[in-house]
Structure 1
Amino acid sequence: MRIVIAGGHGRIALRLERLLGARGDEVAGIVRRPEQAGELLAAGAEPVVCDLESATVAEVAGHLEGADAAVFAAGAGAGSGAARKETVDRGACVLFADAAEAAGVRRFVVVSSMGADREPPAGTDPVFAAYLRAKAAADADVRSRPGLDWTILRPGSLTDEPGTGRVTLAATTGRGEVSRDDVAAVLAALLDEPRTAGLTLELVGGNSPVDEAVSALVGS
């Protein structure tokens, strides 16, 4: 399977690239800066330099040609302001979805955020509120597309603790933490299970092995 990951230098994406490459998938990661290429190569991924804030749909579609699946794992990141939440967390996701449709790539998995299903409560940090609204708008756009077999994953608070391989994965989980290792493992399992298309899922640490948690969603 060939998989193209937007935000290929991110901490979840690099973990996912290692997992997919180790099992024999062909992986490409889209990055903004050429100097990030070495880390992708070390992770077993082909680096593709493309700025999703300024690229055209046709340009990105060219990078997606021949892919079996696309994963949007990009984000403006810590330290960015509200404007970049809009251009990356929403705008780049919409562009990537447009490009996937143009390239004929149906399987589309999005890394979103827990809390994107509701208006941020009063008192929320304005930049974080902008992030949640941008994620919500991107999710809504993806869900509106009949041309994509989409799955949206909304992890809880992310940690860099070693993964346990055990999670809680459901439409609603309640708040909690989850390691980036386990998020990557769940993404790999979702890519393997096309029957999860059309689902928006929350993810936190838990007691179910990843494969069992994904299988339980589709009744097998």
Structure 2
Amino acid sequence: MKIAIAGGHGQIALLLARLITDAGHDALAIVRNPAHVADVEQQGATALVADLEQLDDDELAIRLRGVDAVVFAAGAGPNSGAERKEAVDRDAAILLADAAERRGIDRYVMISSMAADTYDPERAVVPARSEDDVFQVYLRAKSEADADLRARNLRWTIVRPGALLDTPPQGTVRVGRTVPRGSIPRADVAAVVLHALLDDTAVGVQFEVTSGDAPIAAALQAIS
């Protein structure tokens, strides 16, 4: 299987690329900055330098030739403004779905955010007035990207992790349509995405995930 990862230089994306290649599959890491090519190649991935804020879906579809599945792991980043939350966290995710459909790629895994649908519509506006308003825009962008994906005739999975940690993976999780607030290692989020793809589980399912007691494969099977 050849899996393209949008936001290929992100922390979860780099972990996922290594898991994909260690499992004997091909990872194509989409990165905006040419300086990041060496980092993704160290994880065994092939780099595709492409700016999702500049391409249209036809151009991106051409570059996804030979890809079997796509993962959206991109984000505008913690120091970005409200405009880029919309441009990356929402619009780039939609662009990837448009390109996947044009290319005939029907498997799409979205890495979203816990409680994305709980944004305050009065505060989630551009231009944002405060840092918390920017976060509300971020949640709205994620929510709208998720809604767009759910409406498509794709074999989608939407993963909404809790607070992200840089701790070693546990290999066990708690999943559900909603789960209590909690945290999860980025490495476990990457493993959740890998299992969803390679085991072909959680298709057509949106779920929140934190650390828990259930082995990842079993947890995804249970919600499929």
TM bucket, shorter chain: over 0.9
Structure 1 length-normalised TM: 0.95
* Partner of residue 212, structure 1: 218
* Partner of residue 139, structure 1: 146
Q: Secondary structure, in 3 states, of the residue corresponding to 1:183?
A: helix
Tell me whether 195-204 or 37-46 shows the greater mean CA deviation. Answer: 195-204
Q: What residue identity is the alignment partner of 1:26?
A: D
* Partner of residue 27, structure 2: 27
Any residues of structure 2 matched to 1:65-214 within 5 Å, and which?
65-120=65-120, 125-146=132-153, 148-214=154-220
Q: Would you say the 8 A contact 2:201–2:220 is kept in 1?
A: no
Question: In structure 2, what is the Cα distance between the partners aligned to 1:131 and 1:214?
Answer: 26
Q: Number of aligned residue pairs: give it.
A: 217
Alignment CA distance shift 1:205-1:144 (3 Å): same
The Cα offsets for residues 66-111 of structure 1, whole Å up to 9 and x where unpaired, read as 2111000000011001010000000100100000000000000000
Q: Would you say the 8 A contact 2:113–2:160 is kept in 1?
A: yes
* Partner of residue 127, structure 2: none
The Cα offsets for residues 170-220 of structure 1, whole Å up to 9 and x where unpaired, read as 2111210001010000000011233421100100000111111112123xx
Tell me whether 61-70 or 155-164 shows the greater mean CA deviation. Answer: 61-70
Question: In structure 2, what is the Cα distance between the partners aligned to 1:214 and 1:195?
Answer: 6
Q: How much has 1:120 moved relative to structure 2?
A: 3.5
Q: What residue identity is the alignment partner of 1:22?
A: D
Question: In structure 1, what is the Cα distance between the partners aligned to 2:93 and 2:33?
Answer: 18
Question: In structure 2, what is the Cα distance between the partners aligned to 1:121 and 1:140?
Answer: 16
Tell me whether 82-91 or 110-119 shows the greater mean CA deviation. Answer: 110-119
Q: How much has 1:118 moved relative to structure 2?
A: 2.2
Q: What residue identity is the alignment partner of 1:142?
A: L
The Cα offsets for residues 120-147 of structure 1, whole Å up to 9 and x where unpaired, read as 398881111010000001001111111x
* Partner of residue 15, structure 1: 15
Question: In structure 1, what is the Cα distance between the partners aligned to 2:39 and 2:9?
Answer: 7
Q: Would you say the 8 A contact 2:157–2:203 is kept in 1?
A: yes
Q: Secondary structure, in 3 states, of the residue corresponding to 2:147?
A: helix
Q: Percent identity?
A: 48
Q: What residue identity is the alignment partner of 2:70?
A: A
Question: Any stretches of 5+ residues in structure 1 without a counterpart?
Answer: none
Q: Would you say the 8 A contact 2:93–2:145 is kept in 1?
A: yes
Q: Secondary structure, in 3 states, of the residue corresponding to 2:116?
A: coil
